[in-house]
Amino acid sequence: MRNAIRISCNRRNLKVVRDFVTAFLNTYHLSDVLLNQLLVAVDEVVANLIIHANAEDESQFLDLALAVENHTFSIEIEDGSNHSYTPSSFREPDLPEFIRLGKKGGVGMALVNRIMDKVEFESANNHNVCRLYKRLS
């Protein structure tokens, strides 16, 4: 089964994405814990793309495609922002230091990397793709 959706880059669409992913994954009878972990990971990446990469510009869009093949959930998220994503720019946060400083952001991608089995980013010619993979069984 495969499904796709296009949303404008407005944070109000985060609920649309959560509902879309939930409806798609409900047919696979996942545990509540696994379903919620997947929703957190997808929500974090989509929020980052809407807010940081596209500056909540509603004239910009994200295309999401969901699939489950060979018991592996995958989601592909594409946009056309000028911001390119590079895995080398991600650094594991120093959580004790974040707590000491009272810092509230900067841990989302660390959480995504812990939840998902594989996270990929590609950027070329103002076209960016993020792929997330998680084995379901």
CATH classification at residue 76: 3.30.565.10
Strand arrangement of the beta sheet that strand 61-69 belongs to: 2-8, 61-69, 72-79, 127-135, 118-124
Cβ(48)–Cβ(109) below 8 Å = yes
Q: What is the mean pLDDT of each run of 10 residues along the chain (137 residues)?
A: 88 98 96 97 95 93 97 95 61 62 68 94 86 95
The reported pLDDT for the residue numbered 88 is: 47
Which residue from 50, 44, 41 is spatially nearest to 79, judged by alpha carbons? 50
Which residue from 73, 43, 46, 79 is spatially nearest to 61, judged by alpha carbons? 79
Overall domain count for the chain? 1
The reported pLDDT for the residue numbered 137 is: 78
- Structural domain including 122 reads 2-135
DSSP state of 44: H
The reported pLDDT for the residue numbered 40 is: 97
Cβ neighbour number for residue 70 with a 10 Å cutoff: 7
Buried/exposed code over 120-134 (b: 16+ C-beta within 10 A; e: otherwise): ebebeeeebebbbeb
The reported pLDDT for the residue numbered 109 is: 85
Buried/exposed code over 84-118 (b: 16+ C-beta within 10 A; e: otherwise): ebeeeeeeebeeeeeeeeeeeeeebbeebbebbee
The reported pLDDT for the residue numbered 93 is: 58
